[in-house]
Chain A
Amino acid sequence: MDRIKHEITDTLVITKRNLLRYVRLPRLLFFSSIQPIMFLTLFNFVFGGAIGSNHVPGGKYINFLLPGILTQVMLFGAVQTGIGLADDMGKGIIDRFRSLPMSRAAVMGGRTVADAVRNVIVAIIMISVGTLYGFRFLHGFWNAILMVLIMVIFGFAFSWVSAYVGLSSGDPETAQLASFMFIFPFTFASAAFLPTATMPHWLRVFADNQPITLVANTARHFSIGMPVAPHTMQHLAFYIVGILLVFIPLAVGKYRSKA
């Protein structure tokens, strides 16, 4: 009983420590948001006109784009998890934690939870900016909440992948490079920014079935009522649960054995 209690309280102590960063250094939050806002602005005004309103679900490109950009934001946020852990490791803080009689999962748990909280805030900022560009929720209030929720859960799952990468790579620069190497091809070869209909067949098969498309389309279902392919949500749930089941033990194992 005590063990479960300590798993939770230790995670909360570390979460608080990580969130204090954003309170003390608000510019971190600013820079977490500025890049996605830039993406949103560029994509909306550069591609929006060319794509036209008839070629995307939701009537306007911004309605289609915003959930996609949010997906990317969640992934970028997840990368921060690994960078933060690698940074703590380099400064010897992880060694201190490992020498304490505390939960072995709390250091990563506290980081992923804090990053999820940060993701909620960044998502709200993004939705506000999107609203200025004409974005509207078309599927009701509760579905809008569900959209944010599914985004954040997806980001949380990827934070654990990133935690494993960060603890394995050992320094923040490598962690960042290793993560972006995967994120860029994955976000572009997906339905995050554009529908997959015009992609060559081989790419489309990949794009339609990979988790980024699944989460972007699920988010569109909740935000603008876009119909989704059958089993999209089941597959997404399968991915999220699968990632957590694989990467939580991997990350904790890495933390335990870090020599």
Chain B
Amino acid sequence: MSAFEIKDVYKYYGDVHALDGVSLKAEEGKIFGLLGPNGAGKTTIVRMLSTLLSPDKGSATVLGVDVTKEADKVRRSIGLAGQFAAVDEILTGRENIEMVGHLYHLHRKEVKLRAQDLLERLNLADAADRPVKTYSGGMRRRLDLGASLVVRPKVLFLDEPTTGLDPRTRLDLWQIIRDLVKEGASILLTTQYLEEADELADSITVIDHGKIIAEGTSDELKRQFGGDVIEFQLSNASDQDKAMRAVAAIGSKLPSFDDSTLSISIPVRDGSKVLAEVVRALDAAHIEPALLSLHRPSLDDVFLSLTGKKTEATEPAKPHGKRGRK
């Protein structure tokens, strides 16, 4: 059986096609990475699988159970944690977790034990009896995750769990996520960070504008990209058009330009041979690159070539605050 499955699902908000014919299927006991920029449809998929909204067309199941027809049955086997820690600020960490335990109708004693266990495991034991409003962002996120783990869910939905966290806190969360999978959980992890998908996910699905545009393991996606990447940085932004024309015919696909770093990336089949060609072409066009490199493609490159834009992760972090709603 699959951990979760979506079959030809459409979801509209007025004229916006949040999901435009999406199908996906995740194996049990693995981390399924869902990668895409803001507004690509990642959160819509998470909300659908966690019974918060129904598809307009198509079907979604978790462990073979339909999320619309048997929502309560699905809810008993899932956990949901997200980018916006959904915890009560006035309550203490312990009270937050215990409240969720009671709402799962666990036995009173079990709730107490489980809360203590989770607080220790998530390194919140010292702060357990302090109101959440005194917690740091990372602590809130861990508590949010803790609340979703109360019933040891078989399937866990993590919607951008590390967005906005500092690198160390992110690494801590990665370890927790890996441990959960070792214990047998199946995880849907959405992220804007390619590095995160690369590091954690057993398989990666790339989504943009409500459509799946690529899927496979991290290696498969890189291979699909075809070969290597030659990247050079312009010392002068006005050279962009000239440089793009000069190298247009060289790569296996068209080159792409990143205006935040002024660099041009060219996907190539046989990097070392073509490198000389790029140098000659730039020389002929009287362009002196500031930096020139040949490397294996990163998921960033794959994403760039698939969507024509960088992931949001490279843009300045968005300010924290209100949950965006459509």
Could you tell me which A residues sit within 8 Å of B by CB distance?
6, 9-10, 13, 17, 20-21, 24-25, 90-93, 95-102, 106, 170, 258-259
Residues of chain A contacted by B50 (CB below 8 angstroms): 99
Asked whether A24 lies within 8 Å of B86 as measured between CB atoms, the reply is no
Given A24-B90, A90-B322, A91-B323; A99-B105 close (CB under 8 Å): no
Bound CA–CA A9/B99 (angstroms): 11
Bound CA–CA A226/B91 (angstroms): 45
Asked whether B95 lies within 8 Å of A20 as measured between CB atoms, the reply is yes
B265 to A: closest C-beta gap in Å: 37
Given A92-B323, A96-B147, A99-B75; A10-B90 close (CB under 8 Å): no
Residues of chain B contacted by A24 (CB below 8 angstroms): 90, 131
Q: Which of B53, B76, B105 contacts A6 (CB 8 A)?
A: B105
Q: Which of A6, A21, A98, A106 contacts B52 (CB 8 A)?
A: A98
Could you tell me which B residues sit within 8 Å of A by CB distance?
13, 47, 50-53, 72, 75-76, 78, 80, 82, 84-88, 90-91, 95, 99-100, 102-105, 131, 147, 322-323, 325
A16 to B: closest C-beta gap in Å: 8
Given A96-B80, A99-B80; A10-B103 close (CB under 8 Å): yes
Asked whether A92 lies within 8 Å of B82 as measured between CB atoms, the reply is yes
Bound CA–CA A91/B90 (angstroms): 13
Residues of chain A contacted by B85 (CB below 8 angstroms): 92
Residues of chain B contacted by A96 (CB below 8 angstroms): 80, 86, 100, 147
Residues of chain A contacted by B103 (CB below 8 angstroms): 10, 13, 97, 100, 102, 106
Bound CA–CA A259/B95 (angstroms): 28
Binding site secondary structure of chain B: loop
Asked whether B52 lies within 8 Å of A93 as measured between CB atoms, the reply is no
What would 19 more interface pairs be, CB under 8 Å, given A20-B90, A91-B86, A95-B47? A9-B102, A9-B105, A13-B99, A17-B95, A20-B91, A21-B90, A91-B323, A92-B84, A92-B85, A92-B323, A96-B80, A96-B86, A96-B100, A98-B51, A99-B50, A99-B51, A100-B104, A101-B72, A170-B325
Q: Which of A10, A20, A99, A259 contacts B78 (CB 8 A)?
A: A99
B215 to A: closest C-beta gap in Å: 26
Residues of chain A contacted by B75 (CB below 8 angstroms): 99-101
Residues of chain A contacted by B86 (CB below 8 angstroms): 91-93, 95-96
Q: Which of A91, A98, A100 contacts B84 (CB 8 A)?
A: A91
23 interchain pairs (CB within 8 A)?
Answer: A10-B102, A13-B99, A17-B88, A17-B91, A20-B90, A20-B95, A91-B84, A92-B84, A92-B85, A92-B86, A93-B86, A93-B88, A95-B47, A95-B80, A95-B86, A96-B80, A96-B86, A99-B80, A100-B103, A102-B104, A258-B52, A259-B13, A259-B52
Bound CA–CA A9/B103 (angstroms): 8
A225 to B: closest C-beta gap in Å: 43
A188 to B: closest C-beta gap in Å: 34
Closest to A171 in B: B322
Q: Which of A6, A10, A13, A90 contacts B323 (CB 8 A)?
A: A90
Asked whether A25 lies within 8 Å of B90 as measured between CB atoms, the reply is yes
Q: Which of A10, A25, A92 has the most CB of B within 10 A?
A: A92
A259 to B: closest C-beta gap in Å: 5
Given A90-B323, A92-B82; A99-B52 close (CB under 8 Å): yes
Bound CA–CA A170/B88 (angstroms): 18
Bound CA–CA A65/B95 (angstroms): 42
B324 to A: closest C-beta gap in Å: 10
Asked whether A95 lies within 8 Å of B76 as measured between CB atoms, the reply is no
Bound CA–CA A99/B50 (angstroms): 6
Residues of chain B contacted by A20 (CB below 8 angstroms): 90-91, 95
Bound CA–CA A101/B76 (angstroms): 6
Q: Which of A10, A20, A99, A101 has the most CB of B within 10 A?
A: A99
